[in-house]
Amino acid sequence: MKSAMQIAADVRSGVSSASAELERTLAVVEQRNAELNVFLYVDVDGARAAASVIDSRIARGENVGALAGVPIAIKDNLCQVGIPTTCSSKILEGWRPPYNATVLDKVIAAGAVPVGKTNLDEFAMGSSTENSAFGPTRNPLDPSRVPGGSSGGSAAAVAADMTSISLGSDTGGSIRQPAALCGLVGVKPTYGLVSRYGLIAFASSLDQIGPFSKTVTDSALLLEVLAGHDPKDSTSLPEAAPSLVVHVDDGVAGKRIGLVRELYQGADDSVVASVHAAAQALRAAGAEIVEMSIPELGLTLSAYYLIAPAEASSNLARFDGVRYGLRVKADDVTAMMEATRTAGFGAEVKRRIMLGTYALSAGYYDAYYGQALKVRTLTIDAFARAYQQVDLLLGATTPSVAFAFGDKTADPMAMYLNDVFTIPTNLAGDPALSVPFGTGEGNLPVGVQLLGPGRSEAQLFAAARVLEIADGRP
């Protein structure tokens, strides 16, 4: 499949057209979606109309943007006017938003063609896309295995060559983890760099929207489009989008990169071997590798699974059967809300709402939520100290390659441990990305993770590009 950058260049030059690129995408979706369950909704008519407009504008000599005619898949927790947006939950089945998420407006303004909405773990709560109310998504590299989660559908869309780019959201690793399991580049930007307006919230202090792609350059290109201040989002950084594509080939000569023990300890042997091989590749490219320990990272999984459910219990209170979405009839309002939530929410969502409500309840707030916030502060401080010594950090993205369906569904803790290496960055609000490097069991891809201080995306892309080349991908 062509890269997004190549598609846009071909469409702008007349070598191809937006309509031709879209038809190729729709043909692959038609061929593979029934097997993989990637798209919950394909907007065939809307996408064809959008592609036709782009072709007409190009024929008139207009500049249609950096993503001219590029088909893009959208995670189904991002609002799109008039398009079913469900968060893979029965409680929102059939709901059609009256407005676009800011990131939708940005990709459309840049000339991209939204194809449809992709599957996810319900309300983005999960690491395998097995928690969707509409069935799991399968990993295109091995359909007997999971694609990761929660953005499993967006990852699978790119891995299956349906689209060259897609949008996901990352609360505790939900872009980087499926990127690793599907052999993709996945980016969690600095908190506030990309607007969250129109993202249906899971945990508002942790959620970030970011790109999936097969190449480092495509992710840099898409993040340039997504980034920038949005007055509709009170947490949006008050600054323009950074220049990223021009820095992709900057290299790592003279950089100090920390190899963090806590970011690969306990992973499978093949994953650990890939991390050490990545360190060697960066060293060969001129970086100094510094072996480091950040012990505070060992506390972050516990803190995350108090903070995130607490915020979820507050955010999901809006789904009450009164204003929109599912409503189950009952004798009074209280009974209606209980019946609606019982029927509408899946088991994992209910589990996290109960955990969060308990952590926030009188008598337990200080012991649980309050303590978790203190651990979050310790984590932020620990990262800040680390970045005084080094420019970037290196570790594993996931403890293993993609695992088989059902392997971890019976044990929530085993599932939560899939995010042990990605969660710390969400707590800190810093950027991180996963880039494929090496293979493990079943010749499946391994993702290595690069982490940096706030607003260091350009450096992360440059280091990721070094690894991309060292891994034999031009």
Residues designated as active site = 75, 150, 174
CA-CA distance, 169 to 75, in Å (whole number)?
8
Position of tokens 């991908």? 473
Q: Please state the three-class secondary structure of 179-227 as a single string.
A: HHHHCCEEEECCCCCECCCCECCCCCCCCEEEEEECCHHHHHHHHHHHE
CA-CA distance, 148 to 176, in Å (whole number)?
9
Q: Is 75 helix (H, G, I), strand (E, B) or coil?
A: strand
Alpha carbon 28 to its chain's center: 22
Angle at the Cα of 77 from the Cα atoms of 67 and 64, rounded to 5 degrees: 15
Neighbour count for residue 146 (Cβ, 10 Å): 29
The first and second tokens of residue 188, run together, are 């969690």
CA-CA distance, 215 to 198, in Å (whole number)?
27
* DSSP class per residue in 78-116: B--TTS---TT-GGGTT---SS--HHHHHHHHTT-EEEE
Q: Please state the three-class secondary structure of 350-395 as a single string.
A: HHHHHHHHHHHCCCCCHHHHHHHHHHHHHHHHHHHHHHHHCCEEEE
The first and second tokens of residue 27, run together, are 């043909």
